[in-house]
Amino acid sequence: MPFPLTVGAEEEYLLVDPVTRAVSAEGAKVVAEAADELGDRVGPELTDYQVEVRTDPHTSLTTFAEQVRATRATVARAAARQGLRIISSGTPVLGQATPPPLTTGPRYARSAAMFGALDDEQSACACHIHVGVPDLATAVQVSNHLRPWIPVLIALTGNSPYWSGRDTGHTSWRTTTWGRWPVAGPPPYFDSLSHFEDLVDGLIATGTVMDRGGLYWDIRPSHHVPTLEFRFADAATTPEETVLLAGVLRAMTTAALEAIATGEPALRPRPEMLRAACWHAARHGLAGLGIDLATGGLSPAIGQVDRLLSRLQPALLTHGDSELIHTLWARQRTHGNGAERQRAAHRTRGSLTDVVDHLIASV
């Protein structure tokens, strides 16, 4: 297929009051304000605490980065005109997170009717990366090859240690809350395209999900654009972390396509171990040990990321992304993931308002 592959992102932000630092339910007003500049690239999310934005598809990580930064700045200005600020964190730090004020609209009302209290913990924000693939059959095969790496990537992107005023003890509490949904977490290994289609049809027919948009697997073929969508990541504190993730995932997709072309089989860890590794990554993050699914043992999560990037070097060179990705990873390797930096902000004075201020300043 043609290179470079396209890459795009959906980012979700939380609105906060700059005085109390608590989440603020003014999503509709900020969306309307930002839409003057962003048009349909900005919209509501499930709760009124949130705003969602989308980038265009890009073949250049440089232009992708420019749009991510510009979009964040636009939403921040729109929020400021409403007397608010935005933060990019997987979960609210302060304020009443549960139950959240839900956005009005038929889809959100249908979700509440179908899933009840599951919606109560969805004031959680993600960074979804889309990488272009030629067709659904290819997307399913790439998903098979990349699913064993989900735990490493959860450790890399963990950015939700706090929930409604307390430290959860997890690096990514959002990962844990999403795991309660009936179709969430690592996707199954799909034997074929018909296996994927039959399973999805059965999930919809039984009312387990509303439609294809309700497939909350960590990796899924997009239901509305020709991409593979990566959904495991917490909202990234900084634009640079979004760019790092996008570059890594594009390289991983490229490497998977080459493996498929040469007939290299995908690693098939036991589903129980894959789920355990995801929980372990969400609990301990980048600073701790992670489960190595190739060996079944524990090893430093940072070392697992180093090894992943080493494997990806040819694919990074293919897209001209090697220098940028290694620079961004060196920075994060030194300063930690978003959760570590949130906790570092808290340690200075033991103040959660300092955590929110850190997040406001980092957007």
What distance in Å separates the CA atoms of residue 131 and residue 309, rounded to the nearest whole number? 18
Residue 2, in any domain of the structure: no
> What is the rounded CA–CA span in Å between residue 5 and residue 129?
13
Q: Is residue 1 part of a domain?
A: no
Q: Is the CB of residue 102 less than 8 Å from the CB of residue 48?
A: yes
Q: Is 28 contained in some domain?
A: yes
- Give the residue from 40, 42, 51 showing the smallest Cα distance to 87: 51
Tally the domains of the chain: 1
For residues 186 and 75, what is the distance between their CA atoms, to the nearest angstrom? 31
Task: Give residue 98's domain range.
Answer: 7-362
Q: What is the CATH number of the domain that holds 224?
A: 3.30.590.20
Report which of 119, 132, 102 is spatially closest to residue 216, judged by C-alpha positions: 119
* 140 located within any domain: yes
Please provide residue 198's backbone torsions phi and psi, each rounded to the nearest 5 degrees: -65, -40
Cα–Cα distance, 334 to 54 (Å, whole number): 29
The span from the CA of 129 to the CA of 322, in Å, is: 19
CA-to-CA dists, residue 122 to 89, 108, 162, angstroms: 13, 12, 14
pTM greater than the 0.95 cutoff: yes
Q: What is the pLDDT of residue 323?
A: 98
Question: pLDDT tens track of the chain, all 363 residues?
Answer: 567 899 999 999 999 999 999 999 999 999 999 999 999 999 999 999 999 999 999 999 999 999 999 999 999 999 999 999 999 999 999 998 888 998 888 888 888 889 988 888 889 999 999 999 999 999 999 999 999 999 999 999 999 999 989 999 999 999 999 999 999 999 999 999 999 999 999 999 999 999 999 999 999 998 888 899 999 999 999 999 999 999 999 999 999 999 999 999 999 999 999 999 999 999 999 999 999 999 999 999 999 999 999 999 999 999 999 999 999 999 999 999 999 999 999 999 999 999 999 999 999
**Domain presence at residue 202:** yes
